[in-house]
């Protein structure tokens, strides 16, 4: 075996080790979405509780937080309290709207879920899954932030808890809300 081959062998093995190490450290939830920076797809669907039609268009000019969830989803229960807390934090801002999207669910189960765990904002039903596909959703929970111009600014796969919560509120939502308030 000559030096060149030995060298390639050693470098190859180290590179492989590094790749695996990186792979282990990688967060499987941080999937970059191709949607960031694009116009949020519009949608319309029945409200979970009232059955009235809700659509994205009625919130034009506001910062919209979309939270995809389902009653069968364990991670959604994990984040539920923080989601309510988040709504409490921003609900008084007239430029902020929060919408739940009930995904792949049965209506009675969804209603039951909201009754049990509480809810302070509206939820739209995604009956055929078209909304989820429009938003490139992999599974629940997934959270999107849409700015005043209707552009998707942020996406998170997985529950909004702990550091993720702080990040979302301080780095994403607050600056967006602040931006509209300062000129006026």
Which residues of the shown chain bind another protein in the complex (CB under 8 A)? 1, 6, 9-10, 13, 17, 19-26, 28-29, 31-35, 38, 75, 104, 128-130, 132-136, 138-139, 157-158
Per DSSP, 42 falls in state P
Nearer to another protein among residue 57 and residue 106 (C-beta): 106
CB 15 to another protein: min, Å: 10
CB 14 to another protein: min, Å: 9
Nearer to another protein among residue 22 and residue 52 (C-beta): 22
Nearer to another protein among residue 96 and residue 102 (C-beta): 102
Distance from C-alpha of 44 to C-alpha of 51, rounded to nearest angstrom: 12
- For residues 131 and 146, the answer to whether their CB atoms sit within 8 Å is no
CB 17 to another protein: min, Å: 5
Phi-psi region of 155 (alpha: psi -120 to 50; beta: other; left: phi over 0): beta
Tokens of 157: 């796969």
For residue 43, how far is the Cα from the chain centroid? 16
CB 33 to another protein: min, Å: 7
CB 74 to another protein: min, Å: 9
Residue with tokens 């739209």: 124
Distance from C-alpha of 66 to C-alpha of 56, rounded to nearest angstrom: 10
What is the signed CA dihedral for 112, 113, 115, 120, rounded to 10 degrees?
A: -140
Nearer to another protein among residue 7 and residue 179 (C-beta): 7
Q: How does strand 53-55 pair with strand 96-103?
A: unpaired
Nearer to another protein among residue 10 and residue 175 (C-beta): 10
């Amino acid at each position: 075996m000559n030096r060149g081959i030995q060298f390639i062998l050693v470098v190859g093995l180290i590179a492989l080790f590094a790749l695996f190490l990186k792979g282990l450290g990688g967060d499987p939830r941080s999937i970059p979405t191709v949607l960031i920076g694009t116009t949020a797809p519009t949608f319309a669907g029945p409200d979970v509780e009232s059955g009235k039609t809700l659509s994205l268009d009625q919130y034009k000019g506001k910062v919209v937080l979309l939270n995809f969830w389902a009653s069968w989803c364990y991670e959604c229960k994990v984040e539920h309290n923080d989601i309510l807390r988040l709504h409490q934090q921003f609900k008084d801002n007239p430029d902020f709207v929060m919408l739940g999207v009930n995904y792949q669910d049965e209506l009675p189960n969804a209603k039951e879920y909201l009754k049990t765990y509480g809810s302070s904002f509206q939820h739209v039903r995604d009956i055929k899954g078209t909304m989820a596909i429009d938003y490139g959703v992999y599974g629940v929970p997934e959270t999107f932030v849409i700015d005043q111009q209707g552009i998707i600014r942020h996406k998170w796969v997985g529950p909004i808890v702990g550091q993720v919560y702080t990040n979302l509120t301080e780095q994403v939502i607050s600056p967006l809300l602040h931006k509209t308030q300062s000129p006026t």
